[in-house]
Structures are given as structure tokens and as C-alpha cells.
Amino acid sequence: MPNRKIPKRVFPRAKEDAAVAKASTATPQTSDISYKLAFQDQDFLLRDDLRPVRFQLELMKAELLLEEANIGSTFVMYGSARIPEREKAEALRASAATDQQRLIADRLVAKSRYYDEARKLARLCSKCPDLDGRRQFVVCSGGGPSIMEAANRGADDVGAESIGLNIVLPFEQTPNPYVTPHLSFQFHYFALRKMHFLLRARAVAAFPGGFGTFDELFELLTLVQTGKMAQLPIFLFGREFWERMVNFGGLVEEGVISEADLDLFRFVETAEEAWAKLELYYATRERTHLHRDAARA
């Protein structure tokens, strides 16, 4: 055989074909929408019929880029887009014009400590060493403000990259400035966004939040409860908040969940407490009850 280099490919790349198509001579035929390459035709891609294709694209784009970024696992942090750091919360209280606004502002000031805890937790997990050549416990948030910002900010504090999974909304959708630009993603479909939250998740922290936080948390608990997803550490920050919002014991008493389901998550108050429990979990072989410590066993 002649000593010649064998080409890596024999067909042009789609990008090269697209450039050729764009340079086509203008005629009535080439100017019509039907002549556009399918992947360049936005009107075609946005048809209702193409929804399954858009689902696949949203799944694949983030998956490919996260794989190329060598992300082995993530520490996902859920939380409110409306709980700012203390200084901003105090500014809201100072500008409150009614008793109701002052009451809400007071509660936001009290909850602003969770901004600090999310930031501290992100610093801790961002220092985790690589394993098998892949990055572990990379911070992943919804990419927005407040608690989400704190998570990405904590990673940035220690010079680590972090992931932001934004969603197209009429409000609260701009990525916070601490998300690593090449790990900043935008989704149209909530379902695909939530899938990417959990595909690489090896721990999840849920801070106080509203409908979105509850949606994400309870879907996660359902997936683990039903065996659709392997068990993993799930931390609920702020027992007082969660037990005021959700009567977990009442659900057991009503017979709609089992007492064992309460072992799927663990209440914590500080970043250090959560990280210590995570380290204990991954150092322990027996994981039937993930968060059942010696006092409860």
C-alpha cells in the first residue's frame, strides 16, 4: 500500500455545505423558503410537528457540551430567585412603603442568610478533587439571581467553573454574572432543563423557595421514591421554613407517603453541616437510609 495519509472524512461538514448553500445564485427557486436546508430553516424547526426534534436538540446540546467540559458529577442547588444577599434585602426593607411590604422584607432579611450558606456550600464542593480524570461536584444552579447567584458566586470565589441552566421566561431569566460562560445554557422546555439538573447530580441542596423550587424538589423526591433514580444526598436548608410550608408528618399520618420516605432527605442549617453529611454518606457503604444518622438509626 502506498505510504499515504488516509483522510479522516470523505463528506464535507454540514457547516461547509451550509456555506455553499448560502452562496447559491439567487433565483425564484433558491429564494423560496422550501429551498433552505432544513437545519437552517428556523420557521421549519419551530413548527409544532418538530417539537420532538427540539426536545432532542435541547437534550443533546447541553449533554455534548457538558461531556466535552469533562463534568463527571454535579452538586445541584435549588432555591428562590427572590431571596437576595443581606445588603439588598435590607435595602428592600428600607424602601418598604406598607406594613405588608415591611413584613415581607423582614422575612427576606431573615432568609438572606441562606444566600451566604449557598455561597459557602459552593466554595466547599468546588474544591473537590477530580476523580478518574473527571471533575466532580461541579456547582449547578438555575443560573438566575439570589440563591442561584450565590451558588455560582461561591464557585467563582475559589476560581472554579460552575453551570447555569436558565429557562426562557418573561422575567428572572438573565444568567447571573458568576455562571461560567461556556457552561451557561438556556432551555425552552422545563422538562429538559430538569432532566439536565439530575443527569449528573450526585447531591442536591434545596434552599427556601417558591413554586419552581417546590416543583424541582418534589419531582426529585418522586423519582427517588419510585426507584426511577438512584438515591443520593438531598439536603433541605432551613427546617423551620420547610416544616412551616410542608407538613411532612401529616403526609405520613394521612397514609399518602410512608415513614421511610422521610429518610429520602435531611434537614440542615449550614453549609458545613451539609458537606459533613455528604462526606459521611460517600464514605459509608450502607446507603439504604441515606440521611439516617446514628441518632435516628
Q: Which domain CATH number covers 274?
A: 3.40.50.450
DSSP label at 211? H
Question: Is position 222 within any domain?
Answer: yes
Question: Is position 295 within any domain?
Answer: no
Which pLDDT value is given to residue 169?
A: 87
- 3-state DSSP assignment of residue 72: coil
Alpha-carbon gap, residue 172 to 164, rounded angstroms: 13
Question: Is position 200 within any domain?
Answer: yes
Nearest to 183 by CA among 83, 65, 279: 65
Which pLDDT value is given to residue 295?
A: 39
Distance of CA 228 to the CA centre of its chain: 19
- Give the count of alpha carbons within 13 A of 41, CB side only: 14
Question: Is position 255 within any domain?
Answer: yes
Amino acid type, 257: I
Residue 297 has which C-alpha cell? 438509626
Which pLDDT value is given to residue 285?
A: 55
Nearest to 107 by CA among 88, 85, 83, 129: 83
Question: Is position 268 within any domain?
Answer: yes
CB of 248 closer than 8 Å to CB of 205:
no
Render each residue's pLDDT in the chain as its tens digit; 297 residues: 566 788 888 998 988 888 887 767 889 988 899 998 899 999 999 999 999 999 999 999 999 999 999 999 999 999 999 999 999 999 999 999 999 999 999 999 999 999 999 999 999 999 999 999 999 999 999 999 999 999 999 999 999 999 999 999 887 678 999 999 999 999 999 999 999 999 999 999 999 999 999 999 999 999 999 999 999 999 999 999 999 999 999 999 999 999 999 999 999 999 999 999 999 999 885 454 444 443 343
Q: How many other CB atoms are found less than 10 A from the CB of residue 220?
A: 23
Element at 282 (helix H, strand E): helix 271-283
- Residues facing 184 on adjacent strands: 164
- 3-state DSSP assignment of residue 184: strand
Which pLDDT value is given to residue 30?
A: 86
CB of 222 closer than 8 Å to CB of 204:
no
Residue 48, Cβ density class (10 Å: 0-12 exposed, 13-18 middle, ≥19 buried): exposed
- The reported pTM is 0.90
Question: Number of folded domains in the chain?
Answer: 1
Alpha-carbon gap, residue 155 to 180, rounded angstroms: 10
Question: Is position 69 within any domain?
Answer: yes
Q: In what order do the strands lie in the sheet with 184-187?
A: 184-187, 163-167, 138-141, 74-78, 201-206, 234-237, 266-268
The CA-CA-CA angle for residues 167, 173, 197, to 5°, reads: 35
Residue 50, Cβ density class (10 Å: 0-12 exposed, 13-18 middle, ≥19 buried): middle
Residue 47 has which C-alpha cell? 413548527
Task: Give how far Cα 91 sits from Cα of 77, 104, 109, 227, Å.
Answer: 25, 13, 9, 45
Question: Is position 297 within any domain?
Answer: no
Question: Is position 163 within any domain?
Answer: yes
Spell out the alpha helix ranges (H) of 23-96: 42-45, 51-68, 86-94
Range of the structural domain that residue 246 is part of: 51-83+115-283
Helices (H) and strands (E) in the chain, counts: 12, 7
